[in-house]
C-alpha cells in the first residue's frame, strides 16, 4: 500500500546576501559548496549552491539590499537557521578557526553523542556545524 505524501523532504534553504558574488566565493571556499547556477529572478540574483552529499538540499543565496541577517531567537539568544552536518567536527572547527572565520566554541552534548558550534558567514548570517553519533553516513555525489 502506498501513501500519497504531500511532501518528501525539505527542499531548499534561502540565505540573504547584499553581495552575492562575495558570498558565492565565501561558501565555495570555506564550506565546500559548489556553484550550480546563478540567475536573475524578480529583480535580483539567486545563486544555487550544492554540497557533495548525495541527498543534500540546495542552499540558495538571495541577493537583497536589506541589511537584516538571518537568525531566529531562542529564549532571547541568537539561534541558527541552518545546520550543516560534519563527519569530523573537530577538524571543521579547527579549519575554520585557523582561517580566521567568525566561529563560536565547540559544544559537546550529553556523553559526547552530539557536538556543535555556531559560526557566521560573510554576511553575518548565523549557521551551525553539527555532528551526532546518530547521523547516517552520507553517500557522495559522483564527480563533485
Q: What tens digit of pLDDT does each residue of 76-126 get? A: 999 998 999 998 999 999 999 999 999 999 999 999 999 999 999 999 999
Identify the pLDDT of residue 1. 64
Q: Mean of the per-residue pLDDT values for the chain? A: 91
Query: How many CB atoms are closer than 10 A to CB 59?
Result: 20
Nearest Cα residue to 92 out of 127, 47, 50, 56 = 127
Q: Which residues of 91-129 are buried (b: 16+ CB within 10 A; e: fewer)?
A: ebbeebeeeebebbebeeeeeeebbbbbbbbbbebbbbb
Q: Give the pLDDT score at 11.
A: 82
Confidence at residue 139, expressed as pLDDT on a 0 to 100 scale: 77
Amino acid at each position: 500500500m502506498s501513501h500519497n505524501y504531500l511532501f518528501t523532504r525539505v527542499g531548499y534553504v534561502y540565505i540573504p546576501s547584499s553581495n552575492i558574488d562575495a558570498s558565492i566565493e565565501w561558501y565555495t571556499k570555506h564550506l565546500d559548496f559548489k556553484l550550480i547556477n546563478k540567475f536573475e529572478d524578480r529583480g535580483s540574483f539567486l545563486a544555487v549552491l550544492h554540497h557533495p552529499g548525495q541527498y543534500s538540499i540546495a542552499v540558495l543565496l538571495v541577493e537583497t539590499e536589506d541589511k537584516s541577517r538571518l537568525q531566529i531567537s531562542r529564549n532571547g539568544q541568537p539561534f541558527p537557521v541552518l545546520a550543516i552536518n560534519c563527519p569530523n567536527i573537530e577538524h571543521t572547527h579547527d579549519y575554520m578557526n585557523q582561517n580566521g572565520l567568525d566561529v563560536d566554541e565547540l559544544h559537546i552534548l550529553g556523553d559526547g553523542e552530539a557536538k556543535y558550534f555556531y559560526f557566521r558567514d560573510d554576511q553575518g548570517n548565523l549557521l551551525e556545524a553539527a555532528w551526532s553519533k546518530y547521523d547516517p553516513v552520507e553517500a557522495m555525489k559522483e564527480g563533485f
